[in-house]
Structure 1
Amino acid sequence: MKNIIIGFFISCGLFAVKAPQVNTIDHITNAYINVKNSLAADNAPLAKSRAGILLSELSAQPGKELLPAQQKVLAKYADQLKFDARHISETDKIDHQREHFESLSKNMYALVSALKINKQTLYQQYCPMKKAYWLSESEEIRNPYYGSKMLECGDVKITLKPAVN
């Protein structure tokens, strides 16, 4: 019986070691992507709501699983990301949301490309009409700056491959 109990605890310990780490940067990235998709769909109320989720992810003391140098990188961009997410979450005016999305996108790219821990492939895309970038989960262009007016305007500039575990 004692061996069974010891075996059980050892198994639990091995399981805990092998359990995947929660990557809060992926949560932040997914929340950002949801804001982008809402803007591309010309849906200001949904962008407002999803920006609120992004703000919550950014405010929940993210990055505890990061190494100290990575935490420093996150801290460098966190305030500006929160600023833009807050502004997007406080208005239903899509033009104002898109203004802040430009800065949000610039800082998200800087964060994700510096950390190199994303679990999914991301694409930095560019709108030549707006002269602005954004991140996407797909190579397919869905322009968040012009939505249905110019949904397919843009091209992929950089591919950020997923981190190797």
Structure 2
Amino acid sequence: MKKILFVVALVATLWIKPGFAQNSQTKALLTSYYDIKNALVNSDAGLASSKATKFAEVLNSMDRRLLSQEEMKAFMGFQDKLGFDAKQISETKDLSLQREQFANFSANLFKLARVVKLSEEPVYYDYCPMKKSYWLSDNAAIKNPYFGKQMLTCGTVKETLK
């Protein structure tokens, strides 16, 4: 009887562990994105550049085997695009160029987030009417990365992924 319980516990642990690993790596990816967004909110081009480099590292270290078939297909479809976007942000210290690339970056990450659950927490998809661009946020309070302090609270939440 003890052997059976041990085997059941072992199988359950192995079965649950990949989901936990996926959650921790996708959460790290989303956190890296938020770090870039927050640097742009604060108009810190140097920090945005270094955080974009970190995002690329997290992106390239993800273990796709922990994703379902559908998630893996979506991830593989966006991995190069997200890597390109992050590289473009990391390679410049020009804040306006970083913000331009951030629009594509955000759109690509949101498309991925619709298929791959990136976090257990809600992900807010915010819209800037002046820039006509979107970004992802970890809270409902608007902090606009496209204009920083100039128009910090300009925008609205358009969608919430739960």
**Residue 69 (structure 1) shift:** 1.9
Could you tell me which residue of structure 1 aligns to residue 21 of structure 2? 22
Work out whether residues 26 and 117 of structure 2, in 8 Å CA contact, stay in contact via their aligned partners in 1.
no
Work out whether residues 142 and 155 of structure 2, in 8 Å CA contact, stay in contact via their aligned partners in 1.
yes
Q: Deviations over 1:22-67 (max 9, x none)?
A: 1222221111111001100111111111101101111124432101
Q: What secondary structure sits across from 1:124 in the alignment?
A: strand
**Residue 120 (structure 1) shift:** 1.4
Could you tell me which residue of structure 1 aligns to residue 64 of structure 2? 63
Q: Percent identity?
A: 35
- What are the residue-to-residue correspondences of 1:139-158 with 2, within 5 Å? 139-158=140-159
Work out whether residues 21 and 65 of structure 1, in 8 Å CA contact, stay in contact via their aligned partners in 2.
no
**Runs ≥4 in structure 1, deviation > 3 angstroms?**
9-12, 14-20
Structure-2 separation of matches of 1:66 and 1:72? 9
Code of the residue aligned with 1:47 in structure 2: it is A
Q: What secondary structure sits across from 2:106 in the alignment?
A: helix
Q: What secondary structure sits across from 1:158 in the alignment?
A: strand
TM-score under structure 1 length normalisation: 0.86
Work out whether residues 103 and 135 of structure 2, in 8 Å CA contact, stay in contact via their aligned partners in 1.
yes
- What are the residue-to-residue correspondences of 1:7-156 with 2, within 5 Å? 13=10, 15-19=13-17, 21-23=20-22, 24-116=25-117, 118-156=119-157
Structure-2 separation of matches of 1:160 and 1:25? 14
Q: What secondary structure sits across from 1:157 in the alignment?
A: strand
TM-score under structure 2 length normalisation: 0.87
Structure-2 separation of matches of 1:40 and 1:117? 22
Q: What secondary structure sits across from 1:142 in the alignment?
A: coil
Structure-2 separation of matches of 1:81 and 1:115? 14
Structure 1 residues 18 and 73 mapped into 2: Cα distance closer, same or farther (>3 Å)?
A: closer
Larger relative helix fraction: 2
**Residue 17 (structure 1) shift:** 4.8
Q: Deviations over 1:127-147 (max 9, x none)?
A: 000000000001000000000
Structure-1 separation of matches of 2:137 and 2:39? 12
Larger radius of gyration: 1
